[in-house]
Chain A
């Protein structure tokens, strides 16, 4: 492998401060940024140089990245522990494309057409509840991939919300403890509310409990007639027989397939809430943006390949510079849920320590990700980024243009000024993180507690503007980045066995909690159970 070669190169570079790298090379931005479609990726604030990229692409080759990409797009069962293909890219392939088989494309586009019928009926104000009233509120019940993706996209594209005669609202319920659903049900009318139960396996207890609460609420108001569930419940799942058993009418079932992972599923019928927010045409633009990125990832040379470059830089930071914290910092409030979405995408995919061959990994894998809307995080955890002891890498994400859409005509000028302010902060923060005191006027002698050491690397990912297309392209870029990293770490990014066992143990614990049986567990759990049973003694 090429790791040793890279290690020597890293040791060289480790001595050099980012400020120095910028000083030495006036062409640094020219060399280290790439423009692809609506996106601009700036790697010049990473602690590397052009030479590094050459060496890293050699690592990609040595890891057979080309072969793995081909295998993924050929639909081979690269999810080896579950013996499944990973074909989320097929969800956004055009109907006439040749990347996927005709059978897969027919299934995907058939399901999109079913989605379109549902969206159109709701948007026309013609989806009727049990009493014949028009549905005004749709509640998505789902968790994880069935929640974060559609929620993030709905919020990100709120400026593209489709107008409807009844002012259709879309809500999201995910939390297991019922706090969201209880809050929401107080505000909604059963007669005008439609629920989407979204669960790939249709066994997720969080979702099924919330759905049961919703059904009981509905039936308490409208009675037990079978038409109550038919008029007020839809389901999206790959387990059609379980959906049928729950009582969902056939015309209200949407499906996805076992070759789509939950955290890669927002492009399927799981995206229905997002499609309800923005309309089917916009949803198809989102798919088109992602498809554009699929083609780019599949065909572009490593040096120009956005997802591959993002992956290589991640590997560089994690494995060569030993940086294990990664912050996602969108400078646009509409991307509020992007950090949570990427936390799941990256950490659930690459939070692994066993190789595809079943051996313990010899390198570190996924770093710890977290994040928030940048300007808000500036008042929270940026202190640690600037003056803490932990090295952290950051992704700064922002659209260049904003607020020129029709919806903003009234306050456009003021809002454009706010967007300019956010952009200025985005650039200033990444600059200060990189350069440290070198970014400040010269000759100012500071006390220690006021000093900025700098040298915190970051990537800036800009879009021309935040549209369905550019968002689709960006999200697909992150998906493929995660895949490319998994290839270099030799792990399977498409399973998630680490989240299974907890669910199982919870079932036993629930029995202990409800029945009060004395089950033999660890001393801590037994002590806590005792407190829960009698909190006031």
Chain B
């Protein structure tokens, strides 16, 4: 089938390449001349995702995928069009629909994957009377984006047109074999479900962070509590890890989007507002422990940070805890030495050259002369450090474990002062 994918998001790139890999002919459309457009044509992925760049190059070479300009009309044989824009590019999506309405044959199906406010898909439908607009929220897991697209846990389809549903099922047939992953509902219900799922996950994490802070004051080890809570089948084990806050373009963006949706209706979700407030506070939990450790004076201290990406496997730092940490440290006159396998370019782009930010290509380079080491993103390479070497390189053996990945007793036995999130020794 011939498909067009509009947008310059990770979702757009994954959708286009994965669809092409299953035999569809795909044109990926984004604003001409942009960084994204140039990268795609050169076979480069701006998103560091396992397998994505290879897949892109393969499909370009096979000739099933090509780049096209946003304002060009689709080929006559295109049957379905994906919209995968950033939430703030909603006006762009509207322009695309208006343009399509006068340039394509009737019967085309538009599949909106973008995280627009609830009700947008129906509004887009009004702009596009000759075809059908359906909604299929994306559930990509950053760090495993391709894998989560080709093996979806579910496909929440918001669609109230039977013919369109048949076409969407045909488009996704290669990824929907083992069992039927489609769950069909009205478009606004699909949009809201997506937001509610994210809101629920965020709530679990913030709840556990709240518990971890209580645990700290009550001399309770949150790790034992986490296992106990997760053992209840009504609750389950996922998303119960306390830590130094969640970030990323997806999680916090969607929670915010849900909060905005509710607010513009004149009602607001007190719970979600608290969830976000707890998370923002939690991003500074390592800072607070460090602040107390050093007698409320960090002037001139050198702080090593392992991990900048908002999660392992990603190079993105959107809303990542490190941003708040860096700004807090700098405001107190401390110097940060940061290592991350993927996200250093993003940090450099955001902050530029500054004396109190040292980007290190190797983890052990970062800890040289440091007064403390903060673990912020739990990349696998950080899980088993050479503690003797750390001791040797650091000015003071202080380890702040923002993801609770170390064994407090072992770290302490290795001669370190250890601080976790709700961990007791």
Residues of A within 8 A of B (CB): 121, 124, 126, 128, 130-134, 227, 230-231
- Collect the chain A residues with CB atoms within 8 Å of residue B289's CB: 132
Q: Report whether A231 and B296 are in contact in the complex, using a CB–CB cutoff of 8 Å.
A: yes
Q: Within B330-365, which residues are at the interface with A (CB < 8 Å)?
A: 331-332
B287 within 8 A of A: yes
Complex Cα distance, B289 from A124, in Å, reads 20
Q: Report whether A128 and B291 are in contact in the complex, using a CB–CB cutoff of 8 Å.
A: yes
**Residue from A121, A130, A131, A133 within 8 A of B331 (CB atoms):** A121
B327 within 8 A of A: yes
Complex Cα distance, B291 from A133, in Å, reads 10
Residue of B nearest to A131 (CB): B288
- Collect the chain B residues with CB atoms within 8 Å of residue A130's CB: 296
Complex Cα distance, B290 from A131, in Å, reads 10
B292 within 8 A of A: yes
- Collect the chain A residues with CB atoms within 8 Å of residue B297's CB: 227
Residue of A nearest to B286 (CB): A132
Main secondary structure of the interface of B (DSSP, over half): helix
Q: Report whether A132 and B292 are in contact in the complex, using a CB–CB cutoff of 8 Å.
A: yes
B34 within 8 A of A: no
Nearest-neighbour CB distance to chain A for B331, whole angstroms, equals 3
With known contacts A132-B287, A133-B288, A126–B328 Cβ distance under 8 A = yes
Complex Cα distance, B291 from A121, in Å, reads 16
Complex Cα distance, B328 from A132, in Å, reads 10
Nearest-neighbour CB distance to chain A for B6, whole angstroms, equals 34
Q: Report whether B288 and A132 are in contact in the complex, using a CB–CB cutoff of 8 Å.
A: yes
CB-based A-B contact count at 8 angstroms? 31
Nearest-neighbour CB distance to chain B for A133, whole angstroms, equals 7
Nearest-neighbour CB distance to chain B for A132, whole angstroms, equals 3
**Residue from B281, B290, B295, B327 within 8 A of A126 (CB atoms):** B327
How many residues from B make CB contacts under 8 Å with A? Answer: 15
B371 within 8 A of A: no
Q: Report whether B292 and A131 are in contact in the complex, using a CB–CB cutoff of 8 Å.
A: yes
CB<8 Å pairs between A and B, sample of 17: A124-B331, A126-B327, A126-B328, A126-B332, A128-B332, A130-B296, A131-B288, A132-B284, A132-B288, A132-B289, A133-B288, A134-B284, A227-B295, A227-B296, A227-B297, A230-B296, A231-B296
List 18 additional contacts besides A126-B332, A231-B296; criterion CB under 8 Å.
Answer: A124-B327, A124-B331, A126-B327, A126-B328, A126-B331, A128-B291, A128-B332, A130-B296, A131-B288, A131-B291, A132-B287, A132-B290, A132-B292, A133-B281, A227-B295, A227-B296, A227-B297, A230-B296
Residues of B within 8 A of A (CB): 281, 284, 287-292, 295-297, 327-328, 331-332
- Collect the chain B residues with CB atoms within 8 Å of residue A132's CB: 284, 287-292, 296
- Collect the chain A residues with CB atoms within 8 Å of residue B290's CB: 132
Nearest-neighbour CB distance to chain A for B297, whole angstroms, equals 8
- Collect the chain B residues with CB atoms within 8 Å of residue A124's CB: 327, 331
Complex Cα distance, B296 from A130, in Å, reads 7
- A-B pairs, top 7 by smallest CB distance, nearest first, are A132-B288, A126-B331, A132-B291, A227-B296, A231-B296, A132-B287, A227-B295
- Collect the chain B residues with CB atoms within 8 Å of residue A230's CB: 296
Complex Cα distance, B331 from A133, in Å, reads 13
- Most chain A beta-carbon neighbours within 10 Å: one of B296, B331, B332: B296
Complex Cα distance, B291 from A134, in Å, reads 12
Complex Cα distance, B328 from A227, in Å, reads 18
Complex Cα distance, B327 from A260, in Å, reads 38
Complex Cα distance, B330 from A121, in Å, reads 11
Complex Cα distance, B406 from A375, in Å, reads 67
Q: Report whether A128 and B327 are in contact in the complex, using a CB–CB cutoff of 8 Å.
A: no
- Collect the chain B residues with CB atoms within 8 Å of residue A134's CB: 284
Complex Cα distance, B288 from A255, in Å, reads 31
Nearest-neighbour CB distance to chain B for A230, whole angstroms, equals 7
- Collect the chain A residues with CB atoms within 8 Å of residue B332's CB: 126, 128
Nearest-neighbour CB distance to chain A for B209, whole angstroms, equals 15
- Collect the chain A residues with CB atoms within 8 Å of residue B296's CB: 128, 130, 132, 227, 230-231
Nearest-neighbour CB distance to chain A for B287, whole angstroms, equals 6
Residue of A nearest to B297 (CB): A227
Residue of B nearest to A124 (CB): B331
- Collect the chain B residues with CB atoms within 8 Å of residue A121's CB: 331
Nearest-neighbour CB distance to chain B for A116, whole angstroms, equals 15
Nearest-neighbour CB distance to chain A for B47, whole angstroms, equals 29
Complex Cα distance, B290 from A373, in Å, reads 50
- Collect the chain A residues with CB atoms within 8 Å of residue B295's CB: 227
- Collect the chain A residues with CB atoms within 8 Å of residue B328's CB: 126, 128
Nearest-neighbour CB distance to chain B for A532, whole angstroms, equals 44
Nearest-neighbour CB distance to chain A for B241, whole angstroms, equals 22
Nearest-neighbour CB distance to chain A for B370, whole angstroms, equals 19
